[in-house]
Chains A and B, each alone.
Chain A
Amino acid sequence: GEDVEQSLFLSVREGDSSVINCTYTDSSSTYLYWYKQEPGAGLQLLTYIFSNMDMKQDQRLTVLLNKKDKHLSLRIADTQTGDSAIYFCAESKNDYKLSFGAGTTVTVRA
């Protein structure tokens, strides 16, 4: 969507780190999310970060939030073939509405 922007494609070699970037426009966003969509499947919540945090780590995933620049990133360490998917950044402006980016297609090559 217009409020949340992401690059459309990322190609990464197996074992390397992937970094997916996202920018958002609404400084009042309370939570920011990363979702993963595998081929032919629905969306799966990967992780989320509250707007007053700078960083969140969960196993191979690291989320960094720069509120000043309204920039969010997702780093996947030791990228595997199973990480090939579309990754969506999303922001919530209130408890009930969610705005998604267009999605970044990540391709992991051997």
Chain B
Amino acid sequence: EAQVTQNPRYLITVTGKKLTVTCSQNMNHEYMSWYRQDPGLGLRQIYYSMNVEVTDKGDVPEGYKVSRKEKRNFPLILESPSPNQTSLYFCASSPSGVETQYFGPGTRLLVL
């Protein structure tokens, strides 16, 4: 089944403890992206990747890192999480750009 998977789905952590949210797609898509969703703000793009080893900042990249060492995976790294990074995170992928993105199920993160 074609899908985008994220792990973990739920995470509670404490300020400053490094964490990684994984994202994987099995559709051989070139493009992958991370968003965060907050009430009243909709989704905001954090980082995106056009292809392996090619990444760029979205609208809210501060406090996040990404890597794209292989086509199927695009992990989101929070080196030192803070409470303002408490949010619902979505990974998405598409064949080439934003026009036909498939979204993962989301990861709900709480930073205490």
A interface with B by C-beta (< 8 Å): 1, 4, 8, 31, 41-45, 48, 88, 90, 92, 95-103
Give the dominant DSSP class at A's interface: strand
**Known A4-B42, A43-B101; 15 more pairs at CB < 8 Å:** A1-B41, A31-B98, A42-B105, A42-B106, A43-B92, A45-B101, A88-B42, A92-B99, A95-B97, A97-B58, A97-B98, A99-B45, A99-B59, A100-B42, A102-B40
**Is B31 at the interface (CB under 8 A from chain A)?**
yes
A residues in contact with B106, CB < 8 Å:
41-42
Interface residues of B (CB under 8 A from A): 4, 31, 33, 35, 40-45, 48, 50, 56, 58-59, 90, 92, 96-101, 103-106
Contact partners of A42 in chain B: CB under 8 A: 4, 90, 103-106
Closest approach, in angstroms, between the C-beta of A79 and any C-beta of chain B? 22
5 shortest A-B CB distances, which residue pairs? Answer: A42-B103, A95-B97, A100-B42, A100-B43, A102-B42
